Amino acid sequence: MYGADLTLNIMSLGGIALGIGMLLDNSIVVLENIARHRERGKDVLRSVHDGASEVGRAVTASTLTTVAVFLPLVFVKGISGQLFRDQALTVTFSLLASLVVALTLIPMLASLQYRKKTAEPQVELKQSKTRIGKLIQRMRTLIFTTIPVSIVRMIKRIIRFFARIALFLIRPFLRIFQNSYQGLENRYHGMLKWSLAHKGRVVIIALGLFLISLLLVPKLGVELIPQLSQGEFRVEFRLPPGTPLNHTDATIADVQKSSNRISDITTTFSVAGSGNRMDVNPEEGGENWGEINVVLQPGSDRDDEEKVMEKLRKDMHGIPDLQYKFSRPTLFTFRTPVEIEVAGYELRHLKKISNEIARRLEASHRFADVKSTMKSGHPEIQIKFDRERAAALGFAVYQLADRVVDQVRGEVATRYSRHDRKIDVLVRAHERDRNSVEKIRRLIVNPESDRPITLDAVANIVVDTGPGEIRRVDQERVALVSANLNYGDLGSAAEEINAIIREIPMPSGLSVHLGGQNEEMAMSFRSLQFALLLAIFLVYLVMASQFESFLHPFVILFTIPLALIGAVFGLWITGSTISVVVFIGLILLAGIVVNNAIVLIDLINQLRAKGMEKIEAIIEGGRSRLRPILMTMLTTTLALLPLALGVGEGAEVRSPMAITVIGGLTISTLLTLIVIPVVYAIVDRKK
């Protein structure tokens, strides 16, 4: 991580937690195989050699397949690629380290565990005859023999002491696991024989479960990324244009007083009006604007936030002409969940259609805090010049416009110097000549002429409410309608919005585009689908090169649909939605779930190469690999359990991925022990 310039953050720490469970898998397989050879009566060195070399290729292939699935994340666009880069690299580093440890350190330690104590050969050193020589020999013996040996013995005693304590504490669990494993092993032997005798039924059952999981996918819901709960949120207020600042402040104060009666709120602070602040957002300004920031009690979750928001909505619903919008502080640069862009050149059509869309969104209980950029306008005097009349009188429209601006806003004629300061001298009409619509109509547009002409002679002056802002995209005017979600997922909301848009008749030259997080979600999902297919292809290439066969990797790939069954059922049971986090979990599953099948198929091939019959080799391979497969599954799922339970800050991002991996790995492991041997028996026709 230091070499790759990675920091400790919620994603890299999640990768470390994931790697803790996965990096044990290789060592478990190697050590269990060494112990199995030892139980057959072989000597220590022969057991270590045969046990490690027998699974060396399978362990290498399983590690490389898991590492290979992270390579496609380089091609993922959008927030998902930025978000999971740290996690992918962290897991990759830990897996590569675990492979080196499993093939070198574990066999060496296993040989030390069984090695009997033998008398160490005594090496006679030539004694020096001088005092200095004897002193050097004593110092050399002390530094290079006595002290290191004493330190090693002390460490060994400490480790042995704690190992005995740990063994005493976990002995009940060991007995439970051992008894459970013995019962499972006996039942598995008979179940595997039955499955091999009824291959068609097993395949049909697996296919039925896969189809059921596909039917459940539309019911899960879709969103870009789970909302993060940070225990605080913001309420933005907007009263009708022209509302004085003291009225805005009094309204916000009333809302703040009502919020103090909610027990879950600890702190609130408010701002009324933006004044002349230089850092103010142009959309958030004026005397009719304000906001309240709400901080909840420590430990509040998303449900608590939603309850507080609902109470505040009820209090604010009774305030006339009040527009409000809730928003949470964002860790990522996400836009509003729902953003509808209405693009065109006619401002009146934009206002009509955007207001209609906003009205229909407000009528739906799914959407909250609906806001349109065309709603919040300000009263203004609009001057519409009559070009033909102006031309007949010898005026150009731009000259008339400049003269009106100079009289109303003023023009800097010169600068007055006072000491080291330059003071602008602004020349404009007197206030009494421009303080009403009638006075504006009587402004003289040709003061240099003998026959003065007033502004109303060449223009039509009306009072109207203009747009609060005019946005442009690709030189087109755009109205933006935004909203938050009261309930449900982003995918269902997008479907409802598209249905609303289809019901509204659109004028010619007007287009409607659904943007916001929905657009980001679509781009991320397309990239992740490509990454998932590329990951499966890379896994197949790695296995084909290891097995030197195109058939056996194809058999192993059947574990991926089996993993999808468990992932979908896990998300459905926990009420999780499909998001980019779940997609990352599926990509990770594509590299993890094949590991058990690799270890199983590799042993079956070795037994058949020694002359064993196919069905007999399948049964023996399943019996021999049952324990390491179950142990690797348990280590990975137990390591991910804290993430799945949603413990700690930022758990909303990590939890769906952990649920996906746990569900997929658990179900795929159980089905792998039955379905993969059956598929192998059907597909492999080699004598």
CA 546 from centre of chain: 33
Report the pLDDT averaged over residues 403-422. 86
Using only C-alpha atoms, the chain has a radius of gyration, in whole angstroms, of 37
Give residue-wise pLDDT tens across range 91-138: 888 888 888 888 888 888 888 765 554 444 454 555 666 777 777 777
Report the pLDDT averaged over residues 265-274. 83
Contact criterion met (CB below 8 Å) for 390 and 397:
yes
pLDDT(582) > 80: yes
Contact criterion met (CB below 8 Å) for 223 and 490:
yes
Mean pLDDT score across all residues of the chain: 81
Give residue-wise pLDDT tens across range 164-223: 898 888 888 888 888 888 888 888 888 888 988 888 888 899 899 889 988 888 888 777
Confidence (pLDDT) at 118: 45
CATH says 379-466 is which class? alpha beta
The two structure tokens encoding residue 289: 């604007």
**Cα 105 to Cα 110: distance, rounded to the nearest angstrom:** 9
pLDDT(329) > 80: no
Report the pLDDT averaged over residues 275-291. 62
Burial grade of 338 (CB within 10 A; 0-12, 13-18, 19 or more):
buried
| 308 contacts: CB under 8 Å, gap ≥ 6 | 262, 264, 265, 294, 296
> What's the first-to-final CA gap in the chain, in angstroms?
49
Give residue-wise pLDDT tens across range 352-371: 888 888 888 888 888 877 87
Report the pLDDT averaged over residues 486-492. 75
**What percent of the chain clears pLDDT 70, i.e. is strictly above it?**
90
**pTM of the predicted protein model:** 0.66
CA dihedral 339→345→351→357, nearest 10 degrees, is -40
- Homologous superfamily assigned to 229-330: Multidrug efflux transporter AcrB pore domain (3.30.70.1430)
Confidence (pLDDT) at 105: 87
> In a 3-state reduction of DSSP, which class is residue 232?
strand
**Cα 427 to Cα 442: distance, rounded to the nearest angstrom:** 18
CATH says 10-115+149-223+522-683 is which class? mainly alpha
Helices H / strands E in the chain, number of each? 21, 13
For residues 128 and 654, the model is more confident at 654
Confidence (pLDDT) at 285: 62
> What does DSSP assign to residue 144?
I
Checking DSSP bridges between strand 265-272 and strand 411-418, what pairing results, if any? unpaired
Going from N- to C-terminal start, the domains of the chain cover 10-115+149-223+522-683, 229-330, 379-466
pLDDT(276) > 50: no
pLDDT(156) > 70: yes
How many Cα atoms occupy the beta-carbon half-sphere of 618 within 13 Å? 22
pLDDT band at 43, cuts 50/70/90?
A: confident
**Cα 400 to Cα 383: distance, rounded to the nearest angstrom:** 11
Confidence (pLDDT) at 283: 54
